[in-house]
Amino acid sequence: MTERHLVALPPERPRDPSEAATRVVEDVLADLDGAHRGVVVDSPPGAGKSTLVVRAAAHLAAAGERLMIVAQTNEQVDDLIDRIAGRHPEVTLGRLSASGYVPSERVLAHPAVRVAQKADDLAEHTVVIATGAKWATLAEGSWPWAIVDEAYQMRSDLLLRIAGRFERALFVGDPGQLDPFSTVEVERWAGLSWDPMRSAVSVLLAHNPELPVHRLPVSWRLPASAAPVVSDAFYPFTGFRAGTREGERRLEFQARGMGTTYDLALEEAAATGWALYELPARHTLRTDAEAVRATAALAVRLLQRGPVAHSEQGSAPVGADRVAIGAAHRDQVTAIRAALGPHGAGITVDTANRLQGREYDVTVVLHPLSGRRDATAFHLESGRLCVLASRHRHACVVVARAGIPELLDAHPSTEPVRLGVPVKFPDGWEANQSVLAHLARHRVQAD
Amino acid sequence: MSVLSSLARLRAASTGAAEPLATVRHCHLVDAPLVLVPLKLSGEAAAPLAVMLGAAPDDATLLVVPQPRNRDLRFAFAADLAKLVLNHIETSHGSVEELPPGKEGEERIRYGNAPQLLVPNRGGVAFLRLLGRSTRFRGTEGPYAVDPAVPVLGRWLTWFAERHDHPGSSLLHAMTELLRLHWATGQSSLEDGNLAALLGWIDPPDGLDGPSAAARAEDPVACPPAGPTTDPSFDNEVLAPAIAAYHESHGDPRALERLRAAVHGQVAPTWELMWRAVGVLRALPEGASVPGRWERDRDAFTYYHQTFGEAYPQARRDPPVRAARRLHDLERAQDAYDAQRAFDDPLVMAEHRLSGQAFGGLVTECEPDRLDETGKRPKLRPLLRIGTEDPVRLDPGTVVCNAARPALKGRIVEFDGGGVLLELTGGMGRRLTAEPGTVPGVGERVCFTSLSEGSWGAARFPDREDTPWTHGGPPAEYVPTDEDAEEDWS
Amino acid sequence: MTETAPDLDRLRGDAPPRNHDARTIAALTANPGCARRGLMDAAGVDKDAVARHLGFPAPFGQSQFAITRGNAFEAQVKADGCAELLTLLRERLGLDVAEVAYDDLEVVAGNEGRELRHTRTRRLLARALETGEGTLFDHPLLRLEIAGRLAYLEPDVIAFQVRGRLHVIEIKSFAVVDGQAEPEQVAAAARQSAVYVLALRRLAAELGHDPGRVSHEVFLVCPENFSNRPTATPLDVRPQLAVLERQLARLTRVDAILEALPGDLVFEPGDALAESVRAVEARYAPECMAGCEMALFCRDEARACGATGALGRSIRDDLGGVDTIATALALADGSLHPSDDLAETAAQLRAAARLRDEALLAARGGAA
């Protein structure tokens, strides 16, 4: 999780979430027409980041500006292409990619989008999109504008390599997600304002403190049951609210339960938006078979119950493609995938890292601290839990062994402190406590 | 830490002897490394108290600062140290190898050898780094002039410390790190920081086992700490009176000799340990990619040595482009080093097999002549089924290579309970039949892994003067100032 | 005072309570899961004396060179009414310190009584908070309630008032080289400073002021590079404050630990001391060696029963629920049939053992 900067609150906050969000977007677009060299937009989970990127791209394109878009993964690039091409067919769009890239169906669906390996081939295109890694291979070329998506997940050393390609830029991202990391010792640069390990936004603002920073104030993804929980735990100084009211989203099951603890947990989640499926306290391996089994079984049971999601977008059955399972470690993901079996086909299972930016109706989460005897910095990283607890539109079921509060209480607080490094908020330890305190009210104990 | 190395620790704890974590040596060892055992004055950042150094066990030189708070004595020490270290550097580069000319036709050479520095522990590396930092900016003229060798030493020490950060480099090693890379003890990693205790588990003195040798090592009287921090009781009971006596005697040689003898007693045991550790490491056969990495070290040394005269002392902190470039180099080196160690050493590869990133077993089925004829042209795509008990965690489609011959590449087709089906894609020659011996036959024991050595390409970075506005724009070029040269060292 | 105090008092026998200082209070957060340490600290037991008596003296000697250096540096920073310090605050941190008053609260008219000194600290700080009078308050004597007992804190710090806020200034003699210092030392300083900030905040609240007027921003004064020249660095201690507040609130759990112990338990020198100490469960980890006087005793105990935790926290965690080395090895070689709980750990250990042995055999040229 990245350090926070202060965001000036608008003088008066419109009560209607839609109006509040619209106002921020208008402010952002107005800033793009201004003289700022850069504009930053903080976007909490599901606050319409992609929509903003699409609008800003169209806005700049309409003003006759050539524009480059930087995303972090090929997946994200393809998502953006699909959205921009779908909504603004008039914009000429090019995708810059590495030689091994095979266009996805989402890209092939828009035959007007040109895929090329060399920037020269896209010189005539108004908007060119690529991953940060691809942009960094370019030695020349310059665009008047750039939009940098997921800018908090981008390491500042990558920004350094591509910043020469644009004159002005809009940086959009979620400050609450996972911090960039490295496999080597990085202490050498601690405290430097250009520390390559800091996020792109952090370094940008350290050197350009006068740039305007906006914050999207409404999460359209998170339901009213989740927005305050996630906001309080992970965005203590820059809160946001839900776009929908209590009761506006409902999850119903077409099939009746059989009174098993799985059913009880799912019913609790459907009724309140949260459930904690608690297994007996025990120290285990990471791939705790019982917890893995429960996680997979809850997801399968959910599908068997014929869930239907009612929301402001209407009513629709929740299929496997709208369900995700999240875990901290890759070996847990592998074990859960294996445990899902044929009834769970189509359910997404992934680590927090890979679930960043994704959205589902229902999620089942294997708590990172489940079964641990000691918490490590990895397990406590607040961004990890934040990603896992903020992917859902309707409900989130957390699977954990009992005893996590005790584990947190026993956690030795001896983290080294480096001079000049801004303090990170929230502290992972506190964020974990906060989420657990909430989950405790939605506890269903396994038999 | 993996379960595999945890298991090694458990076994060591139960048998009382260290367990191997490697079957080959993963570092280069030169014939005559320069061993340094430095001590600093407690409570100071980098005030040297003494260093014992030399390139052979029976050729130790002890340098002592008789009054560590005296600035002149400190710089005299630095000058003495500089002469010894610089002499070692100059006499260590061996023959000059001519390389094919570079892209722009420039001449390229590589020294046949390079100096290697060994210190007892990470603290020793940190001390050399700080000593380098405190001496490299010194002026050799003007009011605070020091011996010309002093700033040269500072730059070399800084350079060695930076190479130490470089994964896989062998130019400067901390002995505890080297030993821990090759053995697991029955104590915690914290206790492994004590060289005497660590070596006690690996190669205990006669009549002792690991735990008793380690217990002895924790007694500062029997086993003085390996520095650079000294034992507080030694400071209070021996060193302080000896320094005071020297001070009061106004430089009496007998007082100096008593002081040197006291310090000698503190460093000599560590000196012995260092050379014993060198012997223990030398007994291991060298890993296959060690010479390649040492060649990179020699390249780095050649370059720095050749360009020394044109360069300024290293800046205090990395400017933006330098920082980003260095991070990239380190990550790339780390990636290659991790892969090379696994390819060189079945015991390291076992870690990857346990974590599911590699698998080993016997070839149970083999279709060496299979062709893929779906494309325009047929391609040689032999199929291989490998029976394995390993907990494979590689998804179908993952590219893997053969641990014994990484050029042999393949793609995972499927994995079920007892075996992996592989489609081989490269490393079998250019024809439609595989070169003899390239495709493993039925009954052969093989190991495949998703690790690869060259997964990180070189990266492009802006020039310093093109540092972008996002990073504060181009930094002022670093030019050493008088202020740097006059920095207090008190 | 709460009711816990007398119960805790009896644990010391006739010995007087050991005074808490910021270091011991900060240490409460270092291994909060350890009941042994928690109880001994809460009762004010002299752990150093207990460890010595048990034959495991704590190896926390201090070199006179370090002490001399620390004292000399502090004296230099504070010389002439903190002249050097003020220059630093003004020039390095750009603070607008207009008028300067320096109050040393260490000596109160020849009477060194703690209550009296605390009263004077209260009075001066009350005045400062009300009227803005005073700039530097050296050696304030603060109080903090620890497990129902009021502990006096003798901070070697200065409370500094600027712009209506109080800041803690902590002088440390470790060097800041090119803007960087040893992260462990900075962390220790941050934890200690957090104790002072908390005590000052409680005092402000008692005096009817907003505790927020005591800043979470501490100024750390250290020697710069290799010189004796001081440099000041702001340090945000909010994370340390949060942990400290939570751990202090938790100390009341000592009641529960106490309840489960025999009524005549006492940590007095004598033959029964070791037994008394063992009666309270420890949670030893190698990190204890860095800060707890009891560490060598606990390590010996952990090793004697073959605890996996003695090899490190991560090892214990890697082994799932297996607490002893012997069990883990028996599971690894298959001589122990695992309970359902341990089936996975056993499978993992057996796989590790197989792979290890196979690799070692291959290296010896055994298996082809």
pLDDT tens-digit map of A314-351:
999 999 999 999 999 998 998 999 899 899 999 999 99
- In percent, the amount of chain B with pLDDT more than 90 equals 81
- DSSP secondary structure code for residue C35 in this structure: H
What pLDDT does residue C33 have? 85
Q: What is the pLDDT of residue C6?
A: 61
Pairwise CA distance, residues C122 & C141, whole Å: 9
> Does C226 sit within 8 Å of B487, measured CB to CB?
yes
- H helix or E strand, kind and range, residue B178: helix B175-182
Q: Nearest Cβ partner of A160 from B167, B324, B335?
A: B324
- Does residue B201 carry a pLDDT above 50? yes
CB contacts under 8 A, C 66-85 vs B, are 66-70
Cα–Cα distance between B83 and B147 in angstroms, integer? 10
Binning pLDDT at 50, 70 and 90, where does residue A411 land? confident
Q: Does B146 touch chain C (CB under 8 A)?
A: no
DSSP B322-370: HHHHHHHHHHHHHHHHHHHHHHH-HHHHHHHHHTTSEEEEEEEEEETT-
When computed from its CA atoms, the radius of gyration of chain C, rounded to whole angstroms, is 25
Q: Do B324 and A182 touch (CB under 8 A)?
A: no
Per CATH, which fold does C64-248 belong to? Lambda Exonuclease; Chain A (3.90.320)
pLDDT bucket at B124, cuts 50 / 70 / 90: very high
Residues of A with CB under 8 A from a CB of C: 187, 190-191, 282-285, 287-289, 371-374, 376, 406, 409-420, 422-423, 425, 427, 429-430
Out of A190, A410, A430, closest to residue C180 by CB:
A190
Comparing A186 with C18, the larger pLDDT belongs to A186
B445 closest CB neighbour out of C63, C289, C368: C368
Testing the interface with B: which of A170, A189, A331 to mutate, by most B Cβ within 10 A? A189
Cβ distance of A160 and B462 shorter than 8 Å: yes
Least confident of B311-325, C86-100, C337-351: C86-100
| Mean pLDDT score of chain C | 87
The CATH superfamily of A17-216 is P-loop containing nucleotide triphosphate hydrolases (3.40.50.300)
State the pLDDT at residue A253.
Answer: 97
* B217-249 pLDDT, tens digit each: 999 999 999 989 999 999 999 999 999 999 999
pLDDT band, residue B1 (cuts 50/70/90): low
A282·C239 Cβ contact <8 A: no
Whether B355 and chain A come into contact, CB under 8 Å, resolves to yes
Instruction: Report the range out of A411-420, C136-145, C222-231 with the highest average pLDDT.
Output: C222-231
- The structure tokens listed for C202 are 């409680």
Contacts of A331 in chain B (CB under 8 A): 355-356, 393
The band of C3, judged by pLDDT with boundaries at 50, 70 and 90, is very low
The topology (CATH level 3) of B342-449 is Elongation Factor Tu (Ef-tu); domain 3 (2.40.30)
Q: What is the pLDDT of residues B203-217, one digit of tens each?
A: 999 999 999 999 999
Query: Does residue B104 surpass a pLDDT of 90?
Result: no
Per-residue burial over C31-69, b if 16 or more Cβ lie within 10 Å, else e, is bbbbbbbbbbbbbbbbbeebbebbebebbeeebbbbbeb
Mean pLDDT throughout A53-69? Answer: 95
Confidence of residue B488 (pLDDT cuts 50, 70, 90): low
Judging by DSSP bridges, how do beta strands A127-131 and A250-253 pair with one another? unpaired
- Sorted by where each begins, the domain ranges of chain C are 2-61+251-318, 64-248, 325-367
* pLDDT for residue B489: 59
Q: Which of C286, C349, C363 lies closest to B191 in CB terms?
A: C286
- Interstrand relation of A307-311 and A314-317 (parallel, antiparallel or unpaired): antiparallel
Evaluated on CA atoms A232, A234, A238, A240, the torsion sign reads: negative
Per-residue pLDDT, C107: 67
> Could you tell me the pLDDT band of residue C2, with boundaries at 50, 70 and 90?
very low
Interface of B with A in 325-344 (CB under 8 A): 326-328, 330-331, 334-335
For range A288-303, the mean pLDDT: 96
Percent of chain B beyond pLDDT 70?
97
Sort out which chain C residues have CB atoms less than 8 A from A187's CB and list them: 183
| Nearest CB to A417; choose among C31, C187, C285 | C187
Q: How far apart are CA C327 and CA C325, in angstroms?
A: 6
At C4, the pLDDT band (50, 70, 90 cuts) reads: very low
Alpha carbon distance A53, A25 (integer Å) = 10
B20, closest residue in chain C (CA to CA): C360
Q: What is the C-alpha separation between B48 and B69, in angstroms, rounded?
A: 9
Does the CB of C345 have a partner CB in chain A at under 8 Å?
yes
pTM: 0.94
Range scoring the smallest mean pLDDT among B21-35, B72-86, C154-168: C154-168
Identify which of A190, A409, A415 has the shortest CB distance to residue C32: A409
Per-residue pLDDT band for A15 (boundaries 50, 70, 90) equals confident
Chains that touch B (3 or more CB pairs under 8 A): A, C
Measure the CA–CA gap between A120 and A132, rounded to whole angstroms: 18
A371 interaction partners in chain C (CB closer than 8 Å): 320
Joined together, the tokens standing for residue C100 give 């300067």
Which of A113-122, B26-35, C312-321 has the weakest average pLDDT? C312-321
Provide CATH 3.40.50.300 ranges for chain A: 17-216, 226-445
Q: What would the DSSP string read from start to end of A324-379?
A: EEEESSHHHHHHHHHHH-GGGTT-EEEEHHHHTT--EEEEEEE-TTTT-SS--HHH
Q: Choose among A201, A205, A181: nearest CA to A383.
A: A181
SS3 category, A121: helix
The distance between the two most distant Cα atoms of chain C, rounded to a whole number of Å, is 87
Tens digits of residue pLDDT in B46-72: 899 999 999 999 999 999 999 988 889
E strands in chain C: 102-104, 136-138, 142-146, 149-153, 157-162, 165-171, 217-223, 230-236
pLDDT for residue C31: 82
CB-based burial label for B240 (10 Å; 0-12, 13-18, 19+): middle
- DSSP bridge pairs for A116: A96
pLDDT (tens digit, 9 = 90+) per residue, C165-211? 999 999 999 999 999 999 999 999 999 999 999 999 999 999 999 99
**Overall residue count recorded for chain B in this entry:** 490
Q: What residues of A are in contact with residue C187 (Cβ under 8 Å)?
A: 414-417
The mean pLDDT value for A215-231 works out to: 96
C151 band by pLDDT with thresholds 50, 70 and 90: confident
- Name the DSSP class of C11: G
Average pLDDT over residues C324-340: 94
Q: Which helix (H) or strand (E) holds B409?
A: strand B409-416
Task: Name, of B119-133, B307-321, B411-425, C230-244, the range with top average pLDDT.
Answer: B119-133
Burial B293-317 (b: 16+ CB within 10 A, else e): bbeebbbbbbebbeeeeeeebbeeb
Q: Is the pLDDT of residue C5 over 60?
A: no
Query: Quick one: pLDDT at residue C113?
Result: 74
Q: Which residue has the tokens 């710069």?
A: C224
Q: Is the pLDDT at B80 greater than 90, yes or no?
A: yes
Q: Would strands B383-387 and B358-367 be described as parallel, antiparallel, or unpaired?
A: antiparallel
Alpha-carbon distance C254 to nearest alpha carbon in chain B (angstroms) = 30
Which residues in chain B are classed under CATH 2.40.30? 342-449
Q: Please answer yes or no on whether B389 and C223 come within 8 Å at the CB atom.
A: no
Running DSSP on this structure, what letter comes out for residue C294?
T
Q: What is the mean pLDDT of chain A?
A: 92
Residues of chain A numbered 104-163 and touching chain B (CB < 8 Å) = 136-137, 139, 156-157, 159-161, 163
Secondary structure of residue B101 in the 3-state scheme: coil
> CB neighbours (10 Å) of residue A416?
14
Question: Of B81, B133, B134, B123, which is closest to residue B227 (Cα–Cα)?
Answer: B123
- Give the residue with greater pLDDT, A64 vs C106: A64
Tally C-beta pairs within 8 A across B and C.
156
Statement: residue A7 has pLDDT above 60 = no
- Residue B90's CB is within 10 A of a number of other CB atoms, namely 10
pLDDT given at position B487: 64
Cβ contact, residue pair C183, A418, below 8 Å: yes
Per-residue pLDDT, averaged over C336-345, amounts to 89
Burial class (CB in 10 A: 0-12, 13-18, 19+), B479: exposed
pLDDT bracket for residue B96 (50, 70, 90): very high
B320 in reach of chain C (CB within 8 A): no
Whether the pLDDT of residue A292 is over 80: the answer is: yes
Q: Name the CATH superfamily housing domain A226-445.
A: P-loop containing nucleotide triphosphate hydrolases (3.40.50.300)
For A116, the 3-state DSSP assignment is strand
Q: In this structure, what token pair is assigned to residue C22?
A: 């910021």
Closest approach of chain B CAs to the CA of C71, in angstroms? 11
A74-92: average pLDDT: 93
Q: pLDDT at position B101, please?
A: 87
- Chain C: nearest CA to A293, how far in angstroms? 13
Q: What token pair was written down for A208?
A: 């350009």
Listed in sequence order, the residues at least 6 apart from A71 whose beta carbon sits closer than 8 Å to its beta carbon are: A77, A79, A80, A129, A130, A131, A132, A149, A150
Confidence of residue C42 (pLDDT cuts 50, 70, 90): confident
- Choose the closest CB to A196 out of B324, B356, B470: B324
Non-local (6+) Cβ contacts of C121 within 8 A are C105, C137, C140, C141, C142, C203
Average pLDDT over residues C263-288: 90
Whether the predicted pLDDT of A283 surpasses 50: yes
Q: Buried b / exposed e across A106-136, counting CB within 10 Å, b at 16+? A: bbeebeebbbbbebeebeebbbbbbbbbbbb
| pLDDT confidence of residue C1 | 36
Residues 6+ apart with CB under 8 A from C355: B4, B350, B353, B354, B390
Q: When comparing pLDDT for A427 and B151, which is higher? A: B151
Q: For all residues of chain B together, what is the average pLDDT? A: 93
Nearest residue, CB atoms, B354 vs list C289, C308, C352? C352
